[in-house]
Amino acid sequence: MINVGIIGSGFIVPHFIDAVKVVKGYHIRAIGGRNEKAISELKQRYDIDYCTTNNDDIYSDPKIDAIYVALPNGLHYETGKKALLADKHVIMEKPFTVTYDQAKELIDLARKKKKIIFDAVTLLHKPNFEKVRELIPEVGEIKMVNLNFSQYSSRYDRLLKGIILPAFDYKMAGGALMDLGIYNINFVVGLFGSPKKVQYFPNMYKKVDTSGVLVMDYGKFKVNAISAKDCRAPNYFCIQGDKGYIRSDEASSVIAHITFTDNSGKSRSFALNRHDELPHYHEYDVLKKMINANDLKKAQELNKLTLKTIRVLEDSLHSGNIYFK
């Protein structure tokens, strides 16, 4: 049994707990955070052993094996570092960190401590993502990749009224690229590796990008990736080649259904994921197996992909003149 301490009480926490309950092999030992009411309610709802407003209680708890970091983006680095120094495995919500240097430091520390630090990117561990990878040769020479991940956020309404929550707070490294665009980056880098060049064209409001277009140049093909929290649109991705295309009418984080269509118009569809009602199921099934087997080698291979992704994220932000200072 993997005993987990949660730090944070945001909307993602119930999704995490629901997923690990179905995966099995996890026990939620503790939850910590500043919002005493929220963590108390989560404790009662999920029968967690205890809650605390002092996160040091979680770092020092000898019964806790892993710490799940579910805090605003700007707090990931310092929280992950404290957890590793306390000899805990770390489950890091996306985006892993704000900068490449922070990610590299944490990954190096995890290697030194012989602990697993896991980038909780749900899409990378889904069977449909692996099917996309298998189908890519069938599209022929890739020409274009297009992605749209747009969700109108109720927090945007509050932003317009002057109420700045972490998702739109530049001091907490908020914004559309950090929240939704990171999925598009993970999807593309997970399939094709690092691009030759990136350029982000953001729509800015109060020093934060509320939407934007990221162009990734791979030489022989280009990627156009939209992420938006200030408007809605149908979400999708499409990989276009000279022999066919792969398409999903869902965001890059979901990939519940994919279709390959060749140039003759013949199509094949796939829906291989388990528990689509629990989008985080597969990643925590993978993590459970890694922790139980102490598979540091696999963890470090995944960390290499994390570093590539965070490098692209940081370069993209800077290309759009976005700095969290």
Residue pLDDT, tens place only, 102-150: 999 999 999 999 999 999 999 999 999 999 999 999 999 999 999 999 9
CA atoms in the 13 A half-sphere facing the CB of 209:
29
- Do 80 and 136 share a structural domain? no
pLDDT greater than 80 at residue 101:
yes
Residues 73 and 195 in one domain: no
E strand or H helix that includes residue 198? strand 197-205
Task: State the average pLDDT for the chain.
Answer: 97
- The reply to whether 305 falls in a domain is no
Please check whether residue 253 lies inside any domain of the structure.
yes
In a domain, 303, yes or no: no
Give the bridge partners for 236, in sequence order: 148
For the chain, percent of residues with pLDDT exceeding 70: 100
Tell me the pTM. 0.95
Q: 248 and 146 in one domain?
A: yes
176 assigned to some structural domain: yes
Structure confidence at residue 283 (pLDDT): 97
Shared domain check, 139 and 265: yes
Backbone angles phi, psi at 229, to 5 degrees: -120, 5
The tally of domains found in the chain comes to 2
Do residues 264 and 284 share a domain? no
Domain identity same for 38 and 107: yes
307/241 Cα distance (integer angstroms): 28
Torsion, CA 33, CA 113, CA 73, CA 299, rounded to 10: -120
- In sequence order, the 6+-apart residues with CB closer than 8 A to the CB of 156 are 168, 210, 229, 230
Q: Quick one: 52 and 7 in the same domain? A: yes
SS3 at position 249 = coil
Alpha carbons 60 and 55: distance in angstroms, whole number: 9
pLDDT at position 270 is: 98
Residue with the two structure tokens 């003149």: 321
Q: What is the pLDDT of residues 5-64, one digit of tens each?
A: 999 998 999 999 999 999 999 999 999 999 999 999 999 999 999 999 999 999 999 999
Statement: residue 213 has pLDDT above 80: yes
Q: Does one domain contain both 136 and 114?
A: no
Can you give the pLDDT at residue 276? Answer: 85
Tell me: do 220 and 130 sit in the same domain: yes
Place of tokens 């690990």: 20
Q: Is residue 302 part of a domain?
A: no
Provide the pLDDT for residue 325. Answer: 75
CATH number at residue 230: 3.30.360.10
Asked if residue 262 and residue 149 are part of one domain, the reply reads: yes
Question: What does the pLDDT look like over 270-321, one tens digit per residue?
Answer: 999 999 889 999 999 999 999 999 999 999 999 999 999 999 999 999 999 9
Question: Which residues, in sequence order, are bridge partners of residue 150?
Answer: 228
pLDDT recorded at residue 171: 92
Domain with 213 in it: 124-275+310-319
Rounded Cα distance, 152 and 289, in Å: 36
Q: What is the mean pLDDT of the segment spanning 240-267? A: 97
Give the pair of three-digit tokens for residue 189.
């880098």
Question: Which residues are bridge partners to 228 per DSSP?
Answer: 150, 211
Does some domain include residue 216? yes
- The answer to whether residues 230 and 132 belong to one domain is yes
CATH number, position 50: 3.40.50.720
> For residues 60 and 86, what is the distance between their CA atoms, to the nearest angstrom?
7
Tell me the DSSP string of 293-314.
HT-HHHHHHHHHHHHHHHHHHH
Considering only CA atoms, give the Rg of the chain. Answer: 20
Classify residue 325: in a domain, yes or no: no
Closest CA to 152 of 131, 168, 132: 168
- Is 324 inside any structural domain? no
pLDDT of residue 308: 98
Say if residue 185 is in the same domain as residue 246.
Answer: yes
